[in-house]
Chain A
Amino acid sequence: DIQMTQSPSSLSASVGDRVTLTCRASQSVSTYLNWYHQTSGKAPKLLIFGASTLQSDVPSRFSGSGSGSDFTLTISGLHPEDFGAYFCQQTFISPYTFGGGTKVEI
């Protein structure tokens, strides 16, 4: 199985901060990489698919980049509703593995 490693595991930030999260795959997944945001007690919400394509209704302050094994999710100006956990997922090869997450805290 492809292992997905996210860093950092947690970070503290303030409203308005620019934040960059990293996801690394144990082998190349091309651009078959999705990002999700989850707040406590709720289902994950899709933010970005195909490494860089913004899901509809997702604010433009979110952006994704990368290909192969290394990917980043950038939030250019944190809003209060952006706090929570972020997960990457590869859909290159089944099983479609997720990373362990980055928790963004105030």
Chain B
Amino acid sequence: QLMQSGAEVKNPGASVLLSCKASGYSFTSYGISWVRQAPGQGPEWMGWISALNGNTRSAQKFQGRLTFTTDTSTTTAYMEMRSLTSDDTAVYYCAIDRVVGVDNAFDIWGQGTLVTV
């Protein structure tokens, strides 16, 4: 399972660091994707980190504002987002990005963290 950190309230211009604690599987076997969902909207994929080697990908719209990291000793993934605006108010999810054959999908999700800016 994935257990996320608690709700955050931030002022515009601030940064936020979210955590996602993994348990019950081999942490380095799968990557972690981060997805956010604004109120009443569909989910939005933000980026991905390999728990094996730390390689990352992120959506172009967030370039320069996101940093993904992992700590294999604590099996925890982190996402830092900088220069927050009110448009960043959303529930933020981490999810296991599992590859099955040639397909990949997010089959285990955290409970979500509400970030209010």
Q: Which residues of A contact B (CB under 8 A)?
A: 1, 31-32, 34, 36, 43-46, 49-50, 53, 55, 87, 89, 91, 94-101
Instruction: Give the A-B contact count at a CB cut-off of 8 A.
Output: 65
Other contacts beyond A50-B103, A98-B45: 7, CB < 8 A: A31-B103, A43-B95, A43-B112, A46-B105, A55-B105, A87-B42, A89-B43
Task: Report how many residues on chain B are interfacial, defined by Cβ distance under 8 Å.
Answer: 26
Chain B residues, CB < 8 A from A43: 93, 95, 109-112
Q: Which residues of B contact A (CB under 8 A)?
A: 33, 35, 41-45, 48, 57, 59-61, 93, 95, 100-107, 109-112
Asked if B45 and A95 sit within 8 Å, CB to CB, the answer is yes
Select from chain B the residue with minimum beta-carbon distance to A51: B103
